[in-house]
Structure formats: C-alpha cells, structure tokens
C-alpha cells in the first residue's frame, strides 16, 4: 500500500511540473516580491515538501483523468498573469529565480565599476533610452543603405546575423545526426517574419487579419526609424517574404529526418542555388573551409536564392533594415518596444500585457551571463 501511495505522489509531482492553466484572467499571479531571505533557500517553495497537495482535484478519479486529479484544483484557482500567454509551475519557479537574480543585480547596480550592474542600470534608465530613439541602430541602418551591390549587402547582413539579427538563410552549428561525434554547419530555410508559410499563403480569415497587422507593423517600424514612404516600402518587403514563404517547406515536411539530411559542398551552393553570393556570405559568416554542410530544406534554399536574385537591392536593403529594427526593438525607445510587443506579443501570441522592464532586464542579464560562462569555459567540440 505504501508503495502505491508513493508512486501516486511521484506521478502527481511529474504531472504537476508540466501543469499549465489556460483560462484567461486579468489578475496577475506573480511570485513573491522583495528580497528572498537566505534562510529560505533550502525551504520548499511549493507545499510542505515540494508538492502542492492542495492543488489536486480529489473529486476526479486518478484512473479516469490523472492530470486533473493531480492538478485540477491548481488549474481552477490559478489565473494566467496578463503578461503571459500560458502559466505553469515552471513559470512560478522562473519568476522566483528572476526575483532572486534581481536582488543580486540591485546590489551590483550600486557597486562602482561593476559591468553587470552598469548593464542593468542602463537598461532601466527609461528616460535615457527614450531620448535616443533609433540612434543606437542608426550606424547599422546606414551601413545597409550604403551598400552599392548585392554582394556588399550580403556581407553586411552576415555581419549582423552573427550578432543575432535575422538573416535571409538560417545558419547554425549542430550535432551531425548520422555521426554524433562531430558537429557540422547547417543551413536551412529562414528569413520570414511570421511563424511559417501558412501565415502568408493560407486562405484563412484569421491569418488574413494577421497579415494585415504584420504589414502595418512593418510600416510603423520604418516610420519610427524616420524612413519616408514607409507603407509602400513595407508592402514590398512583405511581398519579398511571401516569396520566401512560397519556397519554404511545410512544418510536416521539415520534420522528416531523412529528407532534411542533405550534404552539400561549398561548390554545390553555387550550382544548386544560383543567384546568391554564397562564397562571400560564407566568408562573412566565418564558416568557410568545411568538407560539407548540412542543408535541411534544399529546394527552399534554392528558392530563397532565386527570390534574392529577383528582388531589387533597395527592397533587400529595407528588408535587412527591418530585421535590425525587430531584433533591437526591445532595447530601443518605448515606441519601438511597444510596437514590437503589440504585434509579436499580443497579435501573434495572445499575451495581453508586456512583462515589466525589471523582469525583461533580469532575463537579458542572465543571457549575457550564460554567454560569458560559455566563452570562458572553452568547451571543445569537433566541427567538420
């Protein structure tokens, strides 16, 4: 009997970890605010021993619906915070972790010469951020507009892509699916601002509304950046992305492990996907000299190269500029930030409110800390 009870508790704990509430509510359910005392570090944050027995719904028979039995009470009584599209126990723990990190950052911000503290303080200085508007990204935009030909433009796009800005083609490093001892450079379809091809091509009323909102978003971003004729230029960029989407594989096709495993040499790119300056792009991306590359969606990459070749350079420049504005919108003035969230956070994801600046900055600092950790550990992997 004891064994069965322990088993039920363990199963309920596992189910609880993945529990999420989906009923919308305007009420915010956040982790406790304020500094977390050191004495609480080893104290269970959920229930008396790490599992919330009160979160069960004992009116449900475990054998009928174990999820509702383990989590039904919690789901019914826990509202989704207005700044999230879903909420579960992992979000609760994430909020607790962010709050603890914020306590550390508040101290760092008051310590002269502390780079992490300075980084945190600069993000939180909303008045200074708003006063600068698009100034921080103006050099990037100017470099794109100054390119005289498509090869020069691709070089600039690659430089930005290495900084995290979206590019025309997706490039990454992954474990070779057929040789787990090596890591390889992989390329695949990318370049669109909506989730997948259906958002551009499917005849659906909801998606049509999203397309209209997306084009308005592109127009607004160009306007905020001080660019003239924003609506016409945004429409041209949207049509460019629609061309990319037309070449893209469906999500189902992209899940086929065999079809998405294709070895191309450097010479194959020029032969199989002409119209794109692959040699210059690979050089600027820092991925030359490989015996082969893995290409996930060959026909899509070929199609993207054709779209690039057929598109006037001024439209490609606007496309790249919008990629920059989207990537850096959360760190620019509030008009950029709010415009970006209104579309990607609310229209696409259904999140009513944006997370506060503190929560977003703490998350950003944590990412920076992890990047520094990876760089300092010098992890060695064999990349072919």
What distance in Å separates the CA atoms of residue 171 and residue 304, rounded to the nearest whole number?
14
What distance in Å separates the CA atoms of residue 53 and residue 5, rounded to the nearest whole number?
13
Range in 155-169, 221-235, 370-384 the model is least confident about: 370-384
pLDDT band at 294 (very low <50, low <70, confident <90, very high): very high
pLDDT band at 361 (very low <50, low <70, confident <90, very high): low
Q: What is the pLDDT of residues 3-45, one digit of tens each?
A: 444 444 444 555 555 555 554 333 333 333 444 444 466 666 6
- For the 134-332 domain, the top CATH level (class) is mainly alpha
Domain locations in the chain? 1-22+32-78, 82-133+357-384, 134-332
pTM of the full structure:
0.74
Phi, psi of 333 (to 5 degrees): -60, 160
* DSSP sequence for 178-243: TEEEEEEEEEEE---SSSSTHHHH---HHHHHHHHHHHHHHHHHHHHTT-SSHHHHHHHHHHHHHH
Whether 187 and 170 have beta carbons less than 8 Å apart is answered as yes
Q: What is the pLDDT of residues 295-314, one digit of tens each?
A: 999 999 999 999 999 999 99
Q: What is the pLDDT of residues 63-110, one digit of tens each?
A: 988 988 988 888 888 888 877 777 877 777 777 777 777 777 777 667
């Amino acid at each position: 009997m004891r064994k069965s009870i322990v088993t039920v508790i363990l199963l309920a704990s596992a189910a609880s970890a993945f529990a999420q509430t989906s009923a919308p509510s305007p009420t915010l359910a956040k982790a406790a605010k304020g500094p977390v005392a050191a004495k609480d570090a080893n104290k269970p944050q959920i229930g008396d021993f790490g599992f919330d027995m009160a979160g069960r719904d004992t009116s449900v028979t475990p054998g009928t619906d174990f999820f509702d039995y383990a989590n039904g009470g919690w789901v019914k009584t826990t509202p989704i915070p207005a700044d999230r599209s879903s909420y579960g126990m992992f979000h609760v723990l994430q909020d607790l972790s962010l709050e603890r990190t914020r306590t550390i950052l508040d101290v760092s911000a008051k310590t002269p010469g502390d780079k992490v503290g300075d980084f945190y303080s600069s993000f939180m200085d909303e008045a200074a951020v708003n006063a600068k508007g698009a100034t921080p990204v103006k050099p990037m935009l100017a470099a794109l507009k100054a390119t005289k030909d498509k090869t020069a433009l691709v070089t600039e796009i690659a430089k930005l892509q290495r900084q995290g800005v979206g590019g025309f083609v997706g490039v990454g490093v992954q474990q070779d699916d057929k040789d787990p001892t090596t890591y390889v450079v992989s390329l695949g379809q990318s370049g669109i601002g909506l989730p997948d091809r259906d958002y551009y091509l499917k005849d659906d009323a909801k998606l049509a509304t999203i397309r209209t909102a997306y084009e308005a978003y592109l127009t607004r971003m160009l306007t905020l950046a001080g660019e003239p004729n924003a609506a016409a230029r945004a429409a041209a960029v949207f049509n460019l992305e629609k061309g990319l989407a037309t070449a893209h594989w469906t999500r189902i096709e992209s899940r086929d492990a065999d079809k998405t495993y294709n070895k191309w040499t450097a010479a194959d790119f020029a032969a199989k996907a002409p119209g794109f300056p692959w040699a210059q792009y690979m050089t600027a991306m820092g991925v030359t000299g490989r015996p082969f590359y893995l290409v996930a969606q060959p026909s899509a990459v070929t199609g993207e190269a054709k779209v690039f070749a057929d598109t006037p350079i001024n439209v490609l420049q606007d496309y790249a500029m919008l990629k920059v504005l989207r990537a850096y919108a959360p760190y620019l003035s509030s008009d950029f930030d709010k415009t970006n969230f209104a579309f990607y956070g609310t229209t696409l994801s259904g999140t009513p409110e944006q997370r506060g600046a503190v929560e977003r900055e703490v998350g950003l600092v944590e990412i920076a800390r992890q990047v520094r950790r990876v760089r300092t550990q010098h992890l060695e992997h064999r990349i072919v």
